[in-house]
Amino acid sequence: MELSKLPLVLLLILNIHSEHCTEIPKAKVSIKPDQHVFRGETVTLRCDIDGDGATSWKYNWYKDGLDNVFSELQEHIFSPVTESDAGKYSCYGTEREGSRNSQLSDAVTLTVSDPKAEVRVSPQKWLSEGDPVTLICEVNGSSTGWTFSWYTVVSDYSGHYQLLSDSSRGAGGNYTVSSAALKHTGVYVCRAETDTPVIYTTFSNTQPLWVTAVIVSSGVFPPVSLIISPSRTQHFTSVSLSLSCKDQGNSDKWRVRRYTNSGQVEDCSSSLWSSKTRGSTCTNSYTSTADTGVYWCQSESGENYHPVNITVHSGVILESPVHPVTEGDTLTLRCLYPYSTPPNLRADFYKDGSLIQNQTTEMIISAVSKSHEGFYYCKHPERGESLKSWISVTGEISQISVLHTLSSVLTVCPYLLVTVVLIFKCYRMRVTSVEEEETSV
C-alpha cells in the first residue's frame, strides 16, 4: 500500500517515529508571494524535500488535516486565489525510484482576505474656510501597490457615487486640499485597485467634510443659509422640526440633505425622515434620535453649503445658537427639559469639561471672544445632562477699522507726494548743472 494512501493520522505517527532517523528527509511548505494574501492574487504552494541522493519525488498535498490528497505536484497554483482556498497546508513525499519516504511537513497557514479600503481624515472633519485638510485612503492598513480613486456620495441608498474631477490627484492614497472652501463640504469615499493582477476593493467607509463660512467683513455672507425652527442645534424627541434653505433670490433651487450617525446620505424630498416637503423647506413632525446628524443645503449643480450638526435627545438639551457667534456679540445658553413647566432648568454649565457657571437658568456672555469657542453642555442634579454642542466664534472686521485704515493712508499720502516732488526737483537741478558745465567746456 502506498504511503500517500495512508490516513493522515498514521502519517503523523510515522513522522514522529522518523524524527529519530536522521537519514529520512523532511518536507517543507513555502507560500509565495506571502502567507497572507488578498482575494484575486496568484498564490503558489511549493513542497521541498531536504536530503541528499533524492532526485525524483512524488508529492502529496493535504489541507486542514484531511486524509485525501488534493494535489501531487511539487507546486500547486491558485490563480486567482479565493477565500475558500484559505487553510492549513502540509505536504509529504515518496521517491519515484527508491524506497525512501519523507517526513510530513509542518502545516503552513494560508490566509485569504477581501481587500478593504478605509478612509480617514487629518486633522479633523469640521473645518473653517481656508483650513488645510487631507483625506487618507488605505487598504488593510497599507497604501503601497495600489491606485486610488475618490468619489463623493450622491445617494447612499442607491449606491450612487460621483467620481471627483481631480480624483487622480489622490492616486497615491492622500487627497489633500490646501485651502478648504464651502464647496468642499460633502461625504467622500475611496476605492483602490491594482493592475497585475487586477484587484478591486469595494467602496470604503464614508468620510464627511464640513466646511463652515468665515465672516470677514460686514455684509459678506454665504450664498445660502440653513434656517432651523426651533432655532437651536439640540432638539427634543417627538416634536416638530422644520429646515429650509434661504438665499437672496429663488430659494427653490436648493434642497435640504443630511448625513446621519449611521453613515447614510439622504435627500429630504426622497426619504422617509421628512413628513412634509415644500420647495426648499422640509418639516419633520415627529422627531426621533435617529434624526441626529449633519444637515446642509445643496444647489442644483451639486454644491454643498452651510452644514449644521443637529442632535435629537429624549432628555435634557442645551439651547445654543445654530450659526457661529460674532466676536463682541452676546451669547445666551439655556438648559431645557421637555417634561417641566417652564422647560428652563436651574443647572450647571460646562465648557470643554470644566464648570464655568452653576445653578442658573441661563448663562450669558455679554461680549464673546475667540477664547469662548469650545464644547458646551449643561447638567441638572436630577434630570441629567445634555449632549455637547460646539460653539463657534468668528471674527469680523468692523467698518470703523476699515475707515481708520483708509484715513491713515490718506493722511500719509500728502507727505509721500511732497517727498517725491522734492526728489524729482533735486534730480532736475543736478542734471541742469551738469549740462551747463559741459557747455562751458
| DSSP codes of every residue in 25-84 | -BEEEEEES-SEEETT--EEEEEEE--TT---EEEEEEETT-SS----SSEEEESS--GG
Among residues 250, 251, 282, 279, the alpha carbon closest in space to that of 266 is found at 282
pLDDT tens column, 7-33: 554 454 445 444 444 568 899 999 999
- Class for the domain spanning 117-212: mainly beta
Tell me if domain 117-212 and domain 315-397 are identical in fold: yes
Residue holding cell 532736475? 428
> Across the chain, what does the average pLDDT equal?
82
Average pLDDT over residues 41-49: 93
What residue ranges do the domains of the chain occupy?
3-113, 117-212, 231-312, 315-397, 406-433
- Report residue 99's pLDDT band, with 50, 70 and 90 as the boundaries: confident
Q: What is the pLDDT of residues 202-249, one digit of tens each?
A: 899 999 999 987 765 445 566 788 999 999 999 999 999 999 998 877
* Whole-angstrom distance, CA of residue 292 vs CA of residue 284: 12
Q: What's the one-letter identity of residue 368?
A: V
**320 or 279: which carries more pLDDT confidence?**
320
Confidence of residue 323 (pLDDT cuts 50, 70, 90): confident
Q: What one-letter code names the amino acid at 94?
A: T
Tell me which fold the domain 315-397 belongs to. Immunoglobulin-like (2.60.40)
In the numeric block, the cell 508529492 is attached to 59
pLDDT digits (tens, 9 = 90+) for 81-96: 999 999 999 998 988 8
Ranges assigned E (strand) in 96-146: 108-113, 117-122, 126-128, 133-139
Is the domain defined by 231-312 classed in CATH 3.40.50.2300? no
For the cut 90, the answer to whether the pLDDT of residue 110 exceeds it is yes
C-alpha cell at 294: 449633519
pLDDT score recorded for residue 151:
95
Maximum pairwise Cα distance, the chain? 131
For residue 312, pLDDT over 50 is answered with: yes
Close Cβ partners of 72 (under 8 Å, ≥ 6 residues apart): 4, 58, 59, 60, 61
**CATH class for the domain made up of 3-113:** mainly beta
